[in-house]
Each structure stands twice: as structure tokens, then as C-alpha cells.
């Protein structure tokens, strides 16, 4: 699933429907993504999963009271026999043990069945929750790439290709997008020391450390906001026109980037 975008006056924007970003699914169908409803559904599924876990734990706690009881049917028969005993009749020690074993078995079977049903339902709810969370994160990160001013102004390749290359460096934590460097450390802002870098600043930092950044940034050599002084391409620059570049499939585009090609207008 990827974000559907439109290009207006050379700038790329996310296409929306009723104020919601539109995504293209694997089968080619398009649908608007309702982030607000998704967040509410995730919260509901979390609550339901918690309820089932608590029910399972309560059932296991009740099982301890029937420790030593195995066969429920035998236990019921034994209890009926005891109720029908005439005054003065005694139950032998062996019969007592038989009753206890039967009751324990019955309780264990009931708890096992309840635990199995709860476990399956919890697994289903967690799968649904994880899918909705992944969709939400994909919309948030994908939307950040499509709306990025840095990408529009400084980057020579499409936003979706840039996301394919660096999207894994971004995560959603506590409702905000957080970027990580190649060593797995959070990227902090240079202009606001001590604060997490905003998306554009973080992306610029990531590209600045990329070996083939000159193939990503517009223009040549040092034209990008993240390029370092003195990093000109020299006489051996490899170039490819934008028309030729956009005519390639995603795999070929990625190969050109890794080979150090610069996209020219």
C-alpha cells in the first residue's frame, strides 16, 4: 500500500478525499485512510485484548482451587453418591481420592478450553491491531515524505523512491515521527539543541551522510542543502536526464543512485 500523490506546478502533494489521504492498495484499488477512526479502533482492540487476558488469568486462578481433581464426570457421580449416603455410612479413603481426582480433571479441562479460546481471540485481536497500527504509521511517514518541502526544493528523485531508500530510518513514537541515524541513534535538531529533529531536518541529515547524496540532490555537487563543502563531482560525473530516470523501473532507479548517477533537468 502506498500513498497516492499528485503533482502541481512541479510540487508533489498527497491526494485527499474528504480531508483524508488516499492510498493505493496492492490490488490497485484506492481508498481514503481514516486515521482518527483507526486510532480509536486500535484503542478498542487493546481494551478487548486486556479483558480476555484478565479472564484467562482469573480462570487459571480458579483452577488452583481444584488442584488434584481430574475427571469431572466421575466427580459429579461421586458427589451425587455422597449426597445420597444414608446417615452412618462412611466414605472410604480411596473413594475420597477418586472424587478429588475426578474434580481436578474436570476443572483442568474447563480451564484449558477457556484458555485456548481466549488465546485464539487475543491473537486475532492483536493481529488486527498491528495491521491498523502499521497502516497508521505508513500514512504518517508516507505523508511526511510526500509533503516535504525539503524533498520538493532540494531532491532530484521522486518522494516514493526516497521513502523506499530511507523510510526505515523513521518511526512513529508517542504520536510523532522520529528519525534514526545509521548507528541506530535518534537524530536531534541542530537549530533546537536537545529536541528531536523535525522530519525535513532529519531527512537532510540522513542524506548528508549518504555515500551517493550527489545523485539524490538537485543540481551538481554541492547544490543540495545537505551537501558538504568541497564535495564536487569532478570530471567523472555520471549523469542521467530526469526523463530517462523516471522512465526506469524502481529497481533500476535504485541501481543508478548507488552507482553515483546525478539526475539532470
Confidence label for 228 from pLDDT (cuts 50, 70 and 90): very low
Is 184 in the same domain as 210?
Answer: yes
Using CA atoms of 192, 153, 203, 145 in order, give the dihedral in degrees to the nearest 10.
120
Which distant-in-sequence residues (6+ apart) come within 8 Å of 211 by Cβ? none
Q: What is the pLDDT of residue 19?
A: 80
Query: How many domains is the chain built from?
Result: 2
Is 117 in the same domain as 165?
Answer: no
pLDDT at residue 178 above 80?
Answer: yes
239 in any annotated domain: yes
The DSSP H or E segment spanning 138 is helix 93-147
Confidence label for 234 from pLDDT (cuts 50, 70 and 90): very low
Q: How far apart are CA 219 and CA 63, in angstroms?
A: 72
177 in any annotated domain: yes
Q: What is the pLDDT of residue 101?
A: 86
Do residues 23 and 1 make contact, with C-beta atoms less than 8 angstroms apart? yes
CA distances from 58 to 10, 52, 118, 135 (A): 61, 10, 12, 34
Predicted confidence (pLDDT) per residue in 180-207, tens digit: 998 999 999 988 888 999 999 999 999 9
Do residues 2 and 22 make contact, with C-beta atoms less than 8 angstroms apart? no
The residue among 108, 143, 178 that closes a domain is 143
Q: What is the pLDDT of residue 72?
A: 67
pLDDT at residue 222 above 60?
Answer: no
The stretch 4-17 carries a mean pLDDT of: 83
Is 120 in the same domain as 210?
Answer: no
The residue among 101, 121, 143 that closes a domain is 143
pLDDT at residue 91 above 70?
Answer: no
The DSSP H or E segment spanning 254 is helix 250-258
Number of Cβ within a 10 Å radius of residue 103: 23
195 in any annotated domain: yes
Is 42 in the same domain as 71?
Answer: yes
Helix axes 159-166, 199-208, angle to 10 degrees: 70
The stretch 139-165 carries a mean pLDDT of: 90
Q: Which domain holds residue 256?
A: 156-264
Predicted confidence (pLDDT) per residue in 32-81, tens digit: 887 778 888 888 898 898 898 888 888 888 777 777 777 767 777 777 77
pLDDT, mean over the chain: 79
The grid coordinates listed for 191 are 537549530
Q: Which residue has the higher pLDDT, 116 or 232?
A: 116
24 in any annotated domain: no
222 in any annotated domain: yes
The residue among 143, 174, 196 that closes a domain is 143
Q: Which residue has the higher pLDDT, 83 or 167?
A: 167
Predicted confidence (pLDDT) per residue in 127-150, tens digit: 777 777 766 777 788 889 999 999
Which distant-in-sequence residues (6+ apart) come within 8 Å of 167 by Cβ? 141, 142, 145
Q: Tell me 192's DSSP state.
A: S
Do residues 227 and 245 make contact, with C-beta atoms less than 8 angstroms apart? no
Q: How far apart are CA 198 and CA 189, in angstroms?
A: 7
Percent of the chain with pLDDT over 90: 15
Confidence label for 221 from pLDDT (cuts 50, 70 and 90): very low
Percent of the chain with pLDDT over 70: 86
Amino acid at each position: 500500500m502506498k500513498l497516492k500523490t499528485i503533482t502541481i506546478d512541479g510540487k508533489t502533494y498527497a491526494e485527499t478525499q474528504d480531508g483524508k489521504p488516499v492510498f493505493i492498495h496492492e490490488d490497485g484499488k484506492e481508498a481514503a485512510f481514516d486515521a482518527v477512526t483507526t486510532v480509536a479502533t486500535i484503542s478498542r482492540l487493546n481494551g478487548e485484548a486486556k479483558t480476555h487476558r484478565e479472564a484467562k488469568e482469573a480462570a487459571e486462578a480458579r483452577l488452583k482451587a481444584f488442584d488434584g481433581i481430574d475427571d469431572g464426570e466421575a466427580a459429579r457421580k461421586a458427589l451425587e453418591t455422597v449426597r445420597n449416603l444414608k446417615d452412618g455410612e462412611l466414605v472410604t479413603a480411596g473413594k475420597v481420592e477418586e472424587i478429588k481426582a475426578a474434580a481436578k480433571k474436570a476443572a483442568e479441562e474447563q480451564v484449558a478450553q477457556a484458555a485456548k479460546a481466549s488465546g485464539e481471540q487475543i491473537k486475532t485481536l492483536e493481529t488486527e491491531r498491528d495491521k491498523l497500527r502499521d497502516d497508521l504509521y505508513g500514512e504518517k511517514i508516507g505523508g511526511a515524505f510526500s509533503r516535504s518541502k525539503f524533498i520538493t526544493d532540494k531532491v532530484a528523485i521522486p518522494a516514493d523512491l526516497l521513502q523506499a531508500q530511507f523510510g526505515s530510518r523513521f518511526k512513529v513514537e508517542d504520536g510523532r515521527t522520529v528519525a534514526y541515524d545509521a548507528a541506530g541513534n535518534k537524530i536531534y535538531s541542530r537549530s533546537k539543541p536537545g529536541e528531536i529533529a523535525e522530519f525535513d531536518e532529519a531527512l537532510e541529515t540522513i542524506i548528508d551522510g549518504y555515500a551517493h547524496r550527489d545523485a539524490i540532490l538537485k543540481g551538481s555537487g554541492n547544490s543540495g542543502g545537505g551537501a558538504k563543502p568541497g564535495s564536487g563531482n569532478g570530471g567523472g560525473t555520471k549523469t542521467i536526464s530526469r526523463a530517462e530516470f523516471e522512465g526506469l523501473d524502481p529497481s533500476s532507479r535504485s541501481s543508478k543512485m548507488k552507482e553515483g548517477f546525478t539526475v539532470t533537468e
